[in-house]
Copies of this chain bind each other. A is one copy, B any other.
Amino acid sequence: MDKNEILKLIRSRRSIRKFREQNIPEETVFEILEAGIWAPSGLNNQPWRFIIIKDRDLRDKISRLTKYSRIITAADFCIAVFYNKPAGYDRDKDLMAIGSCIQNMLLYSHSAGIGSVWLGEILKNKQEIHGVFEIDESCEFMALLAFGIPDEAPSSARSDISSMMLKPSL
């Protein structure tokens, strides 16, 4: 694969918050998860766990736990991402691995023409989410990803690389 193509993909991915009413095949949902699980993790401990959420009633219930409820109800499906604490060995490293896993899912879905957004504000109601899913204490809710066919094309921006360097090259 051409490196320019992947850089283009990475740069053109956006957080999509408006979706068309269009069904995404279940096969594609599992391809997105497949992309996720090939992320690296410390000691290859794969500390992520997932729930695919398609059911309307369940989404309504979850959507009441965030101010971004309209994104969740408008999405075709959501993936809830959890930290499987018994598989973990270092919280910082495990959370970075989960971030890596999420990025794979966002990038893959973007390449498949599917828009997505990584929702974090809903974590304020982590305990309520655990309750809705009847999750025991071993797993901790870490992110909600909403997916659907994009109905917007937002722009985004990043700071210059130079401002991100702690030191000049050493």
- Across the interface, A15 reaches (CB within 8 A) one of B13, B37, B40, B133, namely B40
Q: Is the CB of A38 within 8 A of B11?
A: yes
A142 interface residue, CB < 8 Å from B? Answer: yes
Does B96 lie within 8 Å of A158, measured CB to CB?
no
| A44 and B98 contacting across the interface, CB-CB below 8 Å | no
* A108: B residues at CB distance < 8 A: 3, 6-7, 10
CB distance from A19 to the nearest CB of B (A): 17
Interface size class of A (residues with CB under 8 A): 35 or more
Q: Are A1 and B6 in contact (CB-based, < 8 A)?
A: yes
The answer to whether A54 touches B6 (Cβ under 8 A) is no
- Asked if A102 contacts B100 (CB within 8 A), the reply is yes
Binding site for B on A (CB under 8 A): 1-3, 5-11, 13, 15, 26, 29-31, 33-35, 37-40, 42, 44, 46, 48-55, 58, 80, 82, 90, 92-93, 95-104, 106-108, 111-113, 118, 120, 123, 133, 135, 139, 142-143, 156-159, 161, 164-167, 169-170
Beyond the given A7-B108, A37-B159, A55-B170, please list 9 additional residue pairs across the A-B interface where CB-CB is below 8 A: A3-B111, A7-B31, A10-B108, A13-B38, A26-B169, A58-B170, A80-B166, A97-B99, A107-B107
